[in-house]
Chain A
Amino acid sequence: MYRYDEFDHQFVRDRTNQFRNQAERRLSGELTEEEFRPLRLMNGLYLQLHAYMLRVAIPYGTLSSRQMRQLALIAEKWDRGYGHFTTRQNIQYNWIKLEDTADILDALAEVEMHAIQTSGNCIRNVTTDHWAGAAADEIADPRPVGELLRQWSSLHPEFSYLPRKFKIAVTGAPNDRAAVKVHDIGLRLHKNGEGEIGWEVIVGGGLGRTPMVGVTVRDFLPQHELIGYLEAIMRVYNLYGRRDNKYKARIKILVHEIGAETFKAEVEAEYAKRPHPSTEVEERELKRIAAYFAAPPLEKLPRWSPSFEEAKLANPAFARWTKNNLGPHQADGYAIVNISLKPEGGIPGDATADQMRVMADLAERYSFDELRVSHAQNIVLPHVKKDDVFAVYQALEKVELAAANYGLAGDIIACPGLDYCALATARSIPIAQSISRKFADSKKQDEIGKLKINISGCINACGHHHVGHIGILGLDKKGEEFYQITLGGSSAESASIGTILGPGFAGHEVADAIETILDTYLKLRDPGEEFLATYRRLGAKPFKEALYATA
């Protein structure tokens, strides 16, 4: 993975000093809150319900054991001993003080981390496939481009005061695990007949108040044109994106309002106008970065691991966990280990400092010192020998990280919601907990199979409920929390926005409603058919009828 050089180090040092100075000037009253707010947001610091919240960037969801240990230390030293992994592969701390923040940024800089631009009307963390560099179906690792774009977008002077936030995602596999179709810019890697890499450029996807799937503006952009072309898109957005209405300020609204064809024409016109200096430097830089993402020194192993198979036979719980929580690795004899941060009845995505340290140790010992954060708020050990998987499982069990529900009904994605977030209209975590308890039975979860349940505590949709197979949106009706259910969303390559089933439910009714929906699915599905496929085949009707049938 990427390692800072002297320039990267100096950059985060300067940035931290800059923020320290800004915070001092705020506390002294030299800066008003209105003036300070965009500055602190551009360093990831929110003012929330109980305290400040700091969102630390985990670029393209990749981190080392050393970095994970530092995140644990920060949780203990400056927070309440835990952190929350987010749906954009970052980590959040909920009990932060403004007066501590510069010190925390220093601690992050020590391990080549930062909180730059994790909020604010600027380009946010570039996210990617959490199995990048390991997945069996990958064409090429997208993370070098992720790192290139991270650098290019950091403190970009032209694009730091955009109409609204801007989110970019990249993927290198045909099975899109990065949700590129619902990002402001999504980049999909393709290879042509000559084996050259090009990027499909998708613009104007997004969730929130007006969810939309993005449009493709370029099918195969040569890699060396990436920066120039993205700058053209950003300039069109910066100049013409709406600034009169916060809820209509994303690029998706611009694309929708002027039309995809007109938007594409504007971008191409802008791109044609710009000076096109040699891109030799960008290409060299990309090569330099790519060297850090070379495959780890994997051993040549047989596909079959006798000790792994024996452990499964001897230990049914382990066998079940391997069935659900392992992903197919490119290399024989290896597996991708997915650690579920969704214990039964627990808070989705939260991990204690101790759990972080255990995961760091496991990564260092068994996974070439690398971990990933997924959009589903889980942690990945990307390169584990099958021979070692049982040892990893045993260690995870000791710290309650061995939930065998990865990708199943228990693997619920939920934003922090009203329990933490000042923007929320309803709580989301208690809903997740009630559903998790209702489907605690492992046989039931296995029977239901692959299922994405996403819960958002407000229309901002940080829980990505629009692209959940089952989506739950928390709203406010006359001061009381109530919940709307959507079905049939997907963030994969055949992306779709979920449709609202009908009137909403009170908090205590939601888990039963989900049970009714899933019972209907089990009754009507074809053999081996997953939930999303059944929904797409039958439509909402049978589910509506089951849910809203008069008693």
Chain B
Amino acid sequence: MPLLKNNLLVSDTWITAEAEGELPNAGDVIVPFARLHTEWDALSARTGRLGVRFGNTDKPEALAGFLPRLSVIVLPFPAFNDGRAYSIARRLREMGYRGELRAIGNVLPDQLQFMLQVGFDAFEIGERFPLETWQKASRQMSLAYQRGLFRRGAEAEIWTERHTDAEPWLEQPHAG
């Protein structure tokens, strides 16, 4: 399935493994969170990059030790009004994660900017809406009040803009 990244469609080169079964020898693979624990030795020994598919009721802290080795974290939106993944995403970024943060499930253009602002940078978007709709949605709001968001879009932070001579945010919030 194509992914939306940086407002363009790119192909997904990752293989998503099932809950059980063989893992491919080489290549980039996304495993369910449970397998990360139980098969860590095998996974660390592989060539190819590693990603994890996380649940929206899992605690982000559980990924702490794995973060340096992860290149993709996939978070679900089981319903578009289930907002738990927004907090999980932002928390993962606060924990220092700088790899790809991918949103799957019920992802609508009208939520794109919020997702970008909490740190998502890749989206499984399906075919329902044309690319232009997504691109337009990513630019709808040119401003955000909140400080320290992980924005990928062009929004300016209002409070930062108002007080440009104040101390900058010490931690670098921008992913990547």
- Interface of A toward B, CB cutoff 8 Å: 5, 7-8, 10-11, 14-15, 17-18, 21-22, 30-31, 35, 38-39, 121, 151-152, 154-162, 235, 238-239, 243, 273-275, 277-278, 280-282, 284-285, 288
Contact = CB atoms under 8 A, between A and B. Distances in A.
B82 A161 contact: yes
Contact of B146 (A10, A30, A157, A275): A157
B146 A238 contact: no
Contacts, number: 119
A280 B81 contact: no
B87 A239 contact: yes
B62 to A, nearest CB: 13
A7 B158 contact: yes
B141 A18 contact: yes
A91 B131 CA distance: 39
A193 to B, nearest CB: 29
B145 A152 contact: yes
A11 B83 contact: no
Q: Determine chain A's interface SS by DSSP, over half rule.
A: helix
Nearest to A14: B141
Contacts of B18: none
B115 interface: yes
Nearest to A36: B110
A271 to B, nearest CB: 12
Interface of B: 80-84, 86-88, 90-91, 94, 108, 110-111, 113-118, 129, 133, 136, 140-149, 156, 158-163, 166-167, 169-171
A287 to B, nearest CB: 10
Contacts of B117: 157
A489 to B, nearest CB: 32
Given A284-B163, A285-B159, A288-B162, A157 B142 contact: no
B100 to A, nearest CB: 18
A14 B82 contact: no
A163 to B, nearest CB: 8
Contact of A282 (B108, B111, B144, B159): B159
B145 A277 contact: no
Given A38-B81, A157-B149, A235-B87, A281 B159 contact: yes
5 contacts: A11-B158, A35-B80, A156-B146, A161-B81, A280-B163
A9 B3 CA distance: 34
A126 to B, nearest CB: 13
Nearest to B136: A21
A321 to B, nearest CB: 42
B160 to A, nearest CB: 7
Given A11-B145, A285-B162, A288-B162, A160 B114 contact: yes
A7 B87 contact: no
B90 A11 contact: no
B144 A281 contact: no
Contacts of B148: 275, 277
Contacts of B83: 121, 158-162, 238
Task: Give the interface centre of B133, B140, B170 by most chain A CB atoms within 10 Å.
Answer: B140
Contact of A157 (B88, B136, B144, B158): B144
A285 B163 contact: yes
Contacts of A162: 83
Task: Give the interface centre of B143, B161, B162 by most chain A CB atoms within 10 Å.
Answer: B143
A206 B161 CA distance: 37
B142 A14 contact: yes
Given A7-B158, A18-B141, A121-B81, A281 B88 contact: no
A161 B117 CA distance: 14
5 smallest beta-carbon distances between A and B, as pairs:
A161-B83, A157-B114, A157-B117, A278-B167, A7-B158
Contacts of A151: 145, 158-159
Contact of A10 (B84, B114, B143): B143
Given A157-B114, A277-B169, A284-B163, A14 B143 contact: yes
Contacts of A7: 143, 156, 158, 161-162
Task: Give the interface centre of B84, B160, B170, B171 by most chain A CB atoms within 10 Å.
Answer: B84
B93 to A, nearest CB: 10
Given A14-B140, A238-B83, A157 B159 contact: no
